[in-house]
Every structure is written in C-alpha cells, then in structure tokens.
Amino acid sequence: MDYKKIGLTVGIEIHQELATETKLFCNCPPELNKDGYEFTFSRKLRPAQSELGEIDPAALFEFLKGKTIIYQADHRTSCLVEMDEEPPSPMDKEAVDIALTFSLMTKGAPVDEVQVMRKTVVDGSNTGGFQRTSVVSLGGEIEVGGKTYHLEQVAVEEDAARKISEDGDTITYRLDRLGIPLIEVTTAPEMHTPQEAYDVARRIGSILRATGKVRRGIGTIRQDVNVSIMNGGIIEIKGAQDLGMLKTLVEFEAQRQVTLVEIQGELKTRGVEASDLKPDLVDVSEMFAKTESKILLNALKRGGKVYAVKLKGFNGLTGKELCQNRRLGTEMSDHAKFKGGVRGIFHTDELPGYKITQPEVDKLRKTMGAEAGDAVVIVADDESKCKSALIAVVDRAVQALSGVPAETRSANQDGTTRFTRPRPGAARMYPETDVRPIQISADAIAMTLKDLPDMPEVKLEKTQKKFNLNSKLATQILDSDHYDLFEELVVEEFSPTLIAVTLTEDLTSMRRDGVPVENLNAESIRGTFSLVKLGTTVKETIPDILTYLAKNPSRNPTMAIRDLGLEMMSDEDVKQLVESVVKERESLVKERGMKAMGPLMGVIMGKARGRASPQKVNKLLNASIRAIIE
Ligand SMILES: [Zn+2]
C-alpha cells in the first residue's frame, strides 16, 4: 500500500506502569494479585450528562443503562481509596520524579506545578467514574533513524482496574491494577507508515526502560494509537499490549479505512443518499417460524422476535472485506451489539448460510421490497433489543456515506480492531480538588538533570563492555523483562553470556515451543542457577529444568532435578562408568593410545546424560587410559 498516497497519519500514546513503592494515591503495593480475590462489591454507574463530552453522549448513556459493574478485590492490593470510599492520599512523589526524569531525557519542558485532573471514564474501569491524570511536561522530542519526532506531553496517571469478563449486563473488573502509577507519553501525529509507528513506540519504550524505574512484563506497557487517512475521521485504537503487533494493527487499520473510502465512492456512484436509509423495521418473525436456523428459532422460542431492515444500495457492500476477517457487516454488527445488546446480525451478503435457506432469503427480500442492489439485515432477540440494534445498523450505514467515522476501537489478538464506542469529545477533564498539586522547582530540575540516566544506546554500549556481551545479546537482555535478574545473577559469578542467553534466547525458544514461560518466576530461575553453582547439576541442563518448572509451577528446582533424573552421579558411580567404558573398548585404547580420549569422552558423556561434570570425567578417563598403555 502506498501510505504517502493515502495520507496515513499516526500518533501514539504509550502507557507504561512505573516501578514505584506504592500506588499513586494510596499506600497499597503496585502489584497484581496472582492469588485471585477475597471479596466483591458492585456498583451501577450514573454518569452526569455534563461529563460525557460532545459526541453522541446518548450512545454512552445507552451503553451504561442498567449495567452492573462487579469489582473483585483483596485487602493486600487495594484499600478504601480504590473502592472510592475514602479520599485519595497525596500524589506519590516518586512517580512524578520518574516522569520528570523521562521528560528531561526527551527534552520536554516541565510544568511549574503538577495539578491533578479528573478524566471521565465511562466503562466502569474506575470505581469513581473518572481517572486521575496530571501533566508533568509539555513538548519534547526523540530521534529515530536520524529523524526527529515530537512529543506532545508527558503525564502521570493512575492505571484502571483490569477487565475480567463481560456478560450481558454485567461487567467484572479486578481492582488490584487500579491506582498503579502510569506514565503516559503522547507523540505528535508525525508517523506516516506502520514501520515508523513501530520504531517510534519501540524507541519510547527503550527510553522508558533506561530510566530503570518501570515495571516489566506482559501488560505493563500498552499503546493507544490514533490512525487517520486523508478524508477520514480519526480512529483511536485502545489497548495494544504487544509492540510486535503494532505494525500489523496500523497496516490493517489503514487498509480498513481505505476500503471504507472505496465503499463511500461506490455508494455515491450508486446514487445512495442518507434519505434512502430509513429505519423502517419490519417484524419478520412469522416468516422464520419453521426455520432450520437454531439462532433464529431459539430467539423466537424465548419469546423474542426476528426483525429486518432494508439497506438501499448496499448489496455486495455489507459483505465487502475491509481487512482480514472484518467486513462492513462486522462493523454494523459491532454497533448493533453496542447499542442493542444483541449477539450479532445477519446480512444478505452472507446468506444463504447459517442454516438460513435460499427460499427464506428470497421471501425476505420480497417482503422487504429489496431490489437486486439492496441488502437486508436481520436480527433475532427481544423486540426492544432488535429495534435498537437495527437502528444502530441503519445509523452505521448512513455513516458509510461519509467514509470513515471517528470512533474508539479496541485491538483484537490478530491485529484487527473492533468498534467499542463513539469518540468522546475533548472536554472531559475537570480539576481534582481532593489532591494538592506538586511543585516542580528549578532546583528539582537541576538535580534531575545532573543525575540523568544514560540514553539506551549509551547504556547498551556500557552493558556490552561491562559484561563482555555481543551487541545482539546486550540489546536482548536490556529489552527483556529480566534485566534486573541478569544483573543479580552476574554478581554471583556466572558467565554473563550464559545468563543472558538463558534469560533471552532460551526463554524465547521455549515460548515458541508452547512452554508457558510466564509461569517462571525469578525465584525458580535464581534457584536453578544456584544448583548449577553448587554442582548439583551442570549448566547444560538449565533449559530442561526451566521447561519443567514452567510446566509444573508447583515444583521447585531441587524437585525438578530429581523428577527429571538429572541429579549428578556420585564420584564412585562416575569412576565405575569410566572404567567400564574403557574396559569395553580396550582394543581401541591399545591401538590409539591417548588419542582414544576424544571418542571415549563422547561415549561416557552420552551415557551420563549431563549428570557428570566433563572435567571430572576427563581426569578419570585420562588416568584410566594411562594405566592401560603404560
Ligand atoms: Zn489502596
């Protein structure tokens, strides 16, 4: 795709969790609770009209109408502040300091006073209905590939609760993540290809890690991406957790928008106008009374209805692929789900299908007065849900006449996105009066500047030199989730290369083989290395032990060695093994003398399967051969 021609423009917001001692507005530890939760409580959100911004607040109300939010919590990772039962404590100064450090590393201009604002959040992920956010600096720049990219601002925010599930009218969140300090870095919309977006996000991520004060691991850094093309609305994509996916995300989104513009052109050619698209909904339940389609039949049995609407001029377009796995019909379905709470829709471009037959489709078209160029959409559910859903479908069809509608979307696993809600207006912020501002003095700036961490390339060079690593390995370990563990283990006299390879390449290849490496904690890796150091096992067995521990998280390294039969052989056993092998091959020894060492070492080490140290075998074998030839 010619990204220049389509006028692709991308801006990124990076959210990185900070490795502080406490959460941003209370003293709870900034950690997720892996052991589940102790209690739940529920809330119903009642957002005030004025807090919802300008665009389509009615839709947001509709979304929240009657929804119950359940929060799962425990006493260790959350307190009354997260529950919104107690006012927040003063803002954590450490978080502000880390943000200030990043700002100065990227040449931003710090504000005089860090003021806490409330940003309305309507999805229930914050118990108070708002997220606290504070701008720390404005502007700034980074260099990537010889080009300068500008930052708009750096802010400190509280992370939201994490969504566990969504089921009909109930959304469940876990409270542990709420209040973990985040740094939010917003770039100017200056990227024009998916590769540039990826490179800039990667660069910002590595500068953040260079502060040495950020949390690592899956979910600790998330990207929101704004994508637009010429003549289209701005699309905000939330929650890309995987940097590797960012490129695909932007590629797919560009493709989706280009196809939407093509559809817009086609609709114009067909002479379709907004006035042609009317929400004239027809109850077609009777027509499907004896259908083979279980989805329709089940809805009817529950007392629901089947409703249909005609989309003039949309034949062939509802089924048109926008990008991989997404059609215009999928977009309409997202809107129907959002506004109507239905599970999905059917459109004539995908029918006959789903056990809906050709004669049924013919009859449907006839009843709806659909001509060859028209499409018909049907939905089966409670009557009121059907109606809201189909009105949303018609609204989305009208939007298709103007190309790319501005909206907020969420990233899917495969790099595609789905509609989540209309884009809220910009005026959603209001001051938080419960928290005092923090001053940033000229002295504080001077002190931070004096002690600024190395930029990533300097740190890379130093790491390479200090540990005698090649550049690839040094880059990998600096980017990895285990850099701290690496530094810790290196102190314990292991070869830095061995540790770096284990913590990066070995773990990566294990992950590729489907090993659940996320189950490995620092303790099991540390324990495995100490057993090697103690001589309980040899370093060659480390990948086997870690694989076993990842698959059996309840076992410890000592148990793993026993379970895998990797305990070292006793000195006596090694001696017997060496002597028996030498005896078996006495003729070879007599024939080749000391030159038999090589082949015999191989045989013995093979039989010992990592349970004997090569040095020890070497010494014993040498003595044993000498005894024969001398
Ligand atoms: Zn707390």
Query: Buried (b) or exposed (e) across 406-432, using 16+ Cβ within 10 A?
Result: ebbbebeeebbbbbbbbbbeeebeeeb
The pLDDT tens digits of the residues spanning 427-485 come to 567 889 899 999 999 999 999 999 999 999 999 999 999 999 999 999 999 888 888 88
How close is the Cα of 30 to the center of ligand 1, in Å?
A: 9
Spacing, Cα 85 to ligand 1 middle (Å): 11
CA of 42 to the centre of ligand 1 (A): 18
pLDDT of residue 425: 61
- For residue 78, report the distance from its CA to the centre of ligand 1, in Å: 4
Ligand 1 centroid–CA 218 distance in Å is 22
What percent of the chain clears pLDDT 70, i.e. is strictly above it?
A: 96
Q: Which of 60-69, 313-322, 335-344, 549-558 has the lowest mean pLDDT?
A: 60-69
Contact criterion met (CB below 8 Å) for 216 and 388? no
Q: 550: which residues sit within 8 A by CB, 6+ positions away?
A: 510, 515, 516, 517, 518, 519, 520
* Residue 87 Cα to ligand 1 middle (Å): 11
Is 441 strand, coil or helix? coil
Most confident of 33-42, 73-82, 475-484: 73-82
Q: What is the mean pLDDT of residues 129-157?
A: 96
Whole-number Å distance, alpha carbon 45 to ligand 1 midpoint, is 21
Residue type, 524: S
Output the pLDDT for position 45. Answer: 64
Ligand 1 centroid to Cα of residue 159, in Å, is 12
Q: What angle do CA 618, 619, 624 make, to 5 degrees?
A: 95
Q: Distance, CA 82 to ligand 1 centroid (Å)?
A: 5
Measure 127 CA to ligand 1 centroid, in angstroms: 12
Q: 213 C-alpha to center of ligand 1: Å?
A: 20
The Cα-based distances of 484 to 97, 316, 477, 488, 503 in angstroms read 21, 56, 10, 6, 11
- List alpha helices for 480-521, DSSP H: 483-491, 496-501, 507-512
Mean pLDDT for the chain?
91
Q: Compute the distance from residue 110 Cα to the ligand 1 centre, in Å.
A: 28
For residue 80, the tally of other CB atoms under 10 A from its CB is: 10
Distance CA 406, CA 399 (A): 10
275 vs 46, more confident:
275
> pLDDT > 90: what percent of the chain?
71
What is the DSSP secondary structure assignment for residue 505, as one 8-state letter?
Answer: I
Region 408-415: mean pLDDT is 90
Distance (angstroms) between ligand 1 centre and the Cα of 419 equals 33
Closest CA to 1 of 207, 282, 293, 253: 253
* Diameter of the chain measured on Cα atoms: 106
pTM: 0.82
Q: Say how many Å lie between the CA of residue 73 and the centre of ligand 1.
A: 11
CA 221 – CA 158 distance, rounded (Å): 13
Calpha distance 240→198 (Å, rounded): 12
pLDDT band of 54, cuts 50, 70, 90? very low
**Model confidence band, residue 178 (pLDDT cutoffs 50, 70, 90):** very high
Q: What are phi and psi of 239, to 5 degrees?
A: 75, 40
**How far away, in angstroms, is 88 Cα from ligand 1 center?**
9
CA distance 43 to 128: 10
Q: Are strands 130-138 and 109-110 parallel, antiparallel or unpaired?
A: antiparallel
pLDDT digits (tens, 9 = 90+) for 13-36: 999 999 999 999 999 999 998 888
- The whole-number pLDDT of residue 535 equals 82
Helix (H, G, I), strand (E, B) or coil at 538: coil
Q: Which of 277, 288, 274, 342 is nearest to 312 (CA)?
A: 277
Instruction: Report whether 200 contacts 176 (CB < 8 A).
Output: no
Q: What integer pLDDT is reported at residue 592 of this predicted model?
A: 87
Q: Cα–Cα distance between 224 and 240 in angstroms, integer?
A: 6
Query: How far does residue 130's CA lie from ligand 1's centre (Å)?
Result: 16
Token pair of 384 as six digits: 């009121």
Q: In 65-181, which ranges are continuous DSSP H helix?
A: 93-105
Give the residue among 587, 597, 584, 591 at the shortest CA–CA distance from 625: 597
CA of 485 to the centre of ligand 1 (A): 28
Q: How far is the CA of 95 from the centre of ligand 1 (A)?
A: 15
pLDDT value at 51 more than 50: no
Q: 3-class SS at 232?
A: coil
Please report the pLDDT score of residue 60 as a whole number: 57
Highest mean pLDDT among 55-59, 174-178, 220-224: 174-178
Which two three-digit tokens encode residue 158? Answer: 């509280």
Residue 56 — very low, low, confident or very high, per pLDDT cuts 50/70/90? very low
The residues that bridge with 285 in the sheet, in sequence order, are: none
Q: Quick one: CA dihedral 611, 613, 616, 618, positive or negative?
A: positive
